[in-house]
Amino acid sequence: MTAQTYCGRFAPSPTGPLHLGSLVTALASYLEARTHQGSWLIRIEDLDPLRESSEAVDLILHSLHAHGLEADQPVRFQSQRHGAYAEAVQSLFAHHRAYRCGCSRTYLKANDGRHSEACRTRSANLEDRPHAIRFALSDELSQWRDNLLGPQSQTVWSELDDPVLVRKEGFYAYQLAVVVDDIDQGITHVVRGSDLLEMTAQQQQIYQALEAEPPAWLHIPVILNSDGQKLSKQNHAPALDDAEAGKNLTTALTALGQAPPKGLARRSPADIMTWAVSHWRRDRIPREPQSVQGLREREPDQSQTDRPGTDVL
Report whether 17 contacts 240 (CB < 8 A). yes
For the chain, what is the total number of helices (H) and then of strands (E)? 9, 12
- 243 has a pLDDT exceeding 90: yes
Whichever domain contains 58, its CATH number is 3.40.50.620
Q: Write the pLDDT tens digit of every residue in 268-290.
A: 999 999 999 999 999 999 999 98
In a domain, 243, yes or no: no
In-domain check, residue 234: no
Give the confidence band of 313 by pLDDT, cuts at 50, 70, 90. Answer: low
Round to whole Å and give the CA distance between 261 and 249: 12
Q: Does any domain span residue 278?
A: no
- Please provide the average confidence, as pLDDT, over all residues in the chain: 90
Q: What is the pLDDT of residue 124?
A: 53
Q: Residue 172 carries which DSSP code?
A: B
Please report whether residue 43 resides in a domain.
yes
Domain count, the chain: 1
pLDDT tens per residue, range 72-118:
999 999 999 999 999 999 999 999 999 999 888 888 889 888 887 77
Answer for the pair 10, 25: CB distance below 8 angstroms, yes or no: yes
Residue 24 burial (CB count, 10 A):
26
Domain assignment present for 94:
yes
Tell me, yes or no, whether 272 lies in a domain: no
Q: Classify residue 63: in a domain, yes or no.
A: yes
Task: Indicate the pTM of the whole model.
Answer: 0.91
* Cα–Cα distance for residue pair 81/174, rounded to 1 Å: 13
Q: What is the three-class DSSP state of 76?
A: strand
Any domain includes 45: yes
Domain that holds residue 208: 3-223
